[in-house]
Amino acid sequence: MRARYANLARIGELDPERDYLVIYQTMLRYEFPWDMKLGLNLAFNRSFSIPSIAAVHTATGELTERTQKRIDDTGLLMYEMVLNGFDQPRGRDALRRINQIHRPHDIRNDDYLYVLGCLVVIPTRWLQQYGWRQPCCHERQATYLFYRELGRRMGITEIPGSYEEFETWFDAHDAAHLQPNDDAAAIERATRMLMLTRIPKPLAALGNALVSAMYDAPLRRAMRVDAPAWPVRDGLHLALKIRSRLQRWFGAPRTTALFADGIKAKSYPDGYKISQLGPQQDQVPGRSSA
């Protein structure tokens, strides 16, 4: 059992202010790879559902017409920054590309803050509920510091001063602005089709209900998604709780890092260049290909 907590012991010896990237990398690549990937997917899913943010995405058509590529591009850019940090060439290139993608759009600072808040809070809460162990204080702090640094390098201002303050801000903003809207519903319909392909075949008949059960009630209302039947919702919750216990009692520490053989994506079977991720110039509203 001691070996199961070896990474946690190492994390406890690090300084989150100095070593936040190493701690966050350990969370994603060794301690909680499946949970972190799912948590980040749910975080982006929620961020797309605020009316002002959803309207930008439906206007570009990236999420509704080129759904797989848009999701792959977002994931690749995020993982490049996590794996390489902000000061290494590939991390810098990914951050530069993110800023290029957002530059043509008039996006409010609060909307940027909300997306950051989703990335900080939603995966952490998933781990608190379904992780094989609770994230420790160093891991919460490292998560906050990684996204605070990302926000600063994107020119986002008024970032709350701690994880706890950001969580409080996020909850208040979420309650005030996560409202039912047609743009969020359109995005959810497009992204749901991809999520359904990841449901194990024996559970395919319950696919739609299981996807809906992943959302909480406020998110379902915003997306105009019906609540799943309670046996599906409670069954999913129970299955995830059992999984977490089995991982804790019988799981072994991961020895091969996630993405050890490189970052793969369906949209780029032969590999990719960071410069080709995201909408190209002739796909951005207000830009020409000339």
The C-alpha atoms of residue 24 and residue 275 are separated, in whole angstroms, by 25
Neighbours of 108 (CB within 10 A): 10
Buried b (16+ CB within 10 A) or exposed e, 155-184: ebeebbeebeebbebbeebbeebbeebebb
What does the pLDDT read at residue 1?
66
pLDDT digits (tens, 9 = 90+) for 213-233: 999 999 999 999 999 999 999
Residue 127 has a pLDDT of: 98
- Quick check: 180 and 222 in contact, CB under 8 A? yes
pLDDT mean by block of 10 residues, the chain; 290 residues: 89 97 98 96 94 94 92 96 97 97 94 98 98 97 98 98 98 97 96 87 92 96 96 96 95 92 93 92 40
| Residue whose C-alpha is closest to residue 28's, from 124, 106, 149 | 124
Task: Tell me what pLDDT residue 41 has.
Answer: 93
Distance, in Å, from the CA atom of 80 to the CA atom of 145, rounded to the nearest integer, reads: 17
**Using CB atoms within 10 A of its CB, is residue 198 exposed (0-12), middle (13-18) or buried (19+)?**
exposed
- pTM for this model (two decimals): 0.93
Alpha helices by DSSP H, listed for the chain, are: 6-12, 16-26, 33-47, 51-60, 62-65, 67-84, 89-102, 109-130, 137-153, 163-177, 182-196, 207-213, 217-223, 230-250
Q: Is 60 helix (H, G, I), strand (E, B) or coil?
A: helix
pLDDT for residue 253: 87
The answer to whether the CB of 112 falls within 8 A of the CB of 161 is no
Cβ-Cβ contacts under 8 Å for 226 (sequence gap 6 or more): 212, 220
Tell me, what's the pLDDT at 200?
85
